[in-house]
Structure 1
Amino acid sequence: MQVEYTIPMVPAAAPPLDLGFIATATMHAGIAARPWLNSLLAALNTVFVAMQAAYILWAILAEQRPRAAIATLMMFTCRGLLGCSTQLPLPAEFLGSGMDFPVGNVSFFLFYSGHVAGAVIASLDMRRVGRHRLAGLYDALNLAQGVRLLACRGHYTIDLAVGVGAGILFDMLAGRYLDSKNVDRGETRCCSSCQKALVSQKLTS
């Protein structure tokens, strides 16, 4: 309450106050002066988004572990509803690129960051099956992604912070959903052939 009553609100005609934008002001100026660098960073970010999607698809199709895919569906559904409910303006200093995801620099929802939430969901799934080094790599890339999104003004700081929380929340909700359906989440499952071996072992015993 001390914070609420001592910080004045931003006037309606003024741009939003974002500390993440202030912290990345130098990086923003550097990217703005080098359009090729903006496109390169956007392309690398798009590759990272593709890596997230590939891992989540691999988990459900190859390893038969649906939790990450269900969490992602829940996360994007909620994001779409929130994005339709309150549409935030693009920052005045937004640096778009045709290499960014969604590819072609089409319209997108600001709140919350699906880039960040998707990476968190993938990272949590990796930790469940013991892929800690890969999860650490995804966390580092997610952090770099967040800094880049701030620097090019593709998201507000609050979008990124809530994106982390959304990834954790919907991963947890997906787990509860699977528990309620009595579905084996396969958290110790490495592949379908291993599961067949376990089934045959139970039958012979």
Structure 2
Amino acid sequence: MATSRAAGRALDFLESGKNLAGSACGLVGVGLTLTGVAGAYWPAVVAGLYAAGALVAPPERVAPPVPPEPEEELRFVRQDFARLREYVAEVDLPGEPAGILAGLLELYAGMLEPGWVAGVLATEPEAVHALTRAIRTDVPECVDTYHRTRWWTRLAPGGEAPERHLVRQLSLLHEEAERLTADLRETEVRRQQTHTTYLEGRRES
């Protein structure tokens, strides 16, 4: 494995712009040697010209990372959502936050439904980002911090019940999910209206 990596790096260097520029300048040194200009110092002349060519050659351009397409990103989000469902299925939540969480997961599942539904979602990068953030970070953080706080509350009773914060957090995420679904619905409404306008214009033409 190490040998193949070393061979790959060596091949990359041989094909690099710096090596090609250095080799071109080195050939000039060889030409000077053949014409007798370099004299007895021809090895130093050839090496020097090669080094000079390699130094002045522009650095290799490293291609920036390409972000995944929305459709590809949704595939990863579905995998994360499946893991989230497995996680929350193992936790014990009081009745009210459990009900809010169940409704929230239903909204997420609806938006991630494979087919034309996810196709609409994929056209809205901001919605994909918001959904990804909620599934990967927000919901797990809500549940995890609730359980941690509840554990400490049992040791030192008093203060605000952790259930209140959990209900508020999940309610805010539910409202966000409802806004996302409303925005996606509005996208389809505009599409329908655009098609109506197109058909009306075609009739009048």
Smaller-chain TM-score bracket: under 0.3
In the superposition, the TM-score normalised over structure 1's length comes to 0.27
Larger Rg: 2
> In proportion to residue count, which structure has more helix?
2
Higher relative contact order (CA 8 A, sep 6+): 1
